[in-house]
Structure 1
Amino acid sequence: MTDWLEILKEQTEAGARMGKEVPKMLSDPEISAEQVGSLFHALEEQAQFVEKLTKILEKYGYDFDIIKAAETLEERYVDLAAEAAEKLRAMRG
């Protein structure tokens, strides 16, 4: 059986790391548009994965606090992806 709570925990830890790393990466003057684009796509994929995870947690009747934690994580990835998209737009002029 899949341990959805463990997956959420791992994703939350990864999201916390990304919350610290992404701004540093985007502020690096040496970062290329290709790297920013790749980062954007990776963040979008993570947001979509967590969205699916949230739906699974809802389906299996997990507590509101757990669902809320998953939704907050999804929002974090969406926000980080938006930051990457802004940087990419600025780089492409």
Structure 2
Amino acid sequence: MTDWIGILKEQTANGDQMGREVPKMLANPDIDEAQVKTLFSALEKQAEFAEKLRLALEKFGHDFPIIKAAERLEERYADLAASAAEKLQALRK
């Protein structure tokens, strides 16, 4: 049986770390367009994974606080991806 709660805890810890690191990366004046594209792609994949995790948690009937935590994780990655997209646009100007 899959430990969905364990996966959520692990992914939340990773999301917290990315929440600290991504803004620093994007603020680095030496970051280039290719690096931002790669970062954006990785964040989008994480957001998609968090969405699938939330759907699995819902499917298996986990409590609302667990579902809410998965939603927050999904939103965090989506917000980080949006920040990377904004940086990419700024680099292209």
User: TM-score normalized by structure 1?
Assistant: 0.99
Amino acid at match of 2:26: L
Matches within 5 A, 1:12-91: 12-91=12-91
Instruction: State how far apart, in whole Å, the 1-side matches of 2:72 and 2:23 are.
Output: 18
- Structure 2 gaps, min length 5: none
1:28-54 Cα deviation digits (max 9, x unpaired): 001110000000000000000000000
Q: What displacement does 1:91 show?
A: 0.1
Question: Which runs of 4 or more aligned residues in structure 1 lie more than 3 Å from their structure 2 counterparts after TM superposition?
Answer: none
Q: What displacement does 1:84 show?
A: 0.2
Instruction: State how far apart, in whole Å, the 2-side matches of 1:32 and 1:11 are.
Output: 27
Q: What displacement does 1:22 show?
A: 0.2
Identity %: 67
SS in 2 for 1:42: helix
Aligned-residue Cα RMSD (Å) equals: 0.3
- Structure 1 gaps, min length 5: none
User: TM-score normalized by structure 2?
Assistant: 0.99
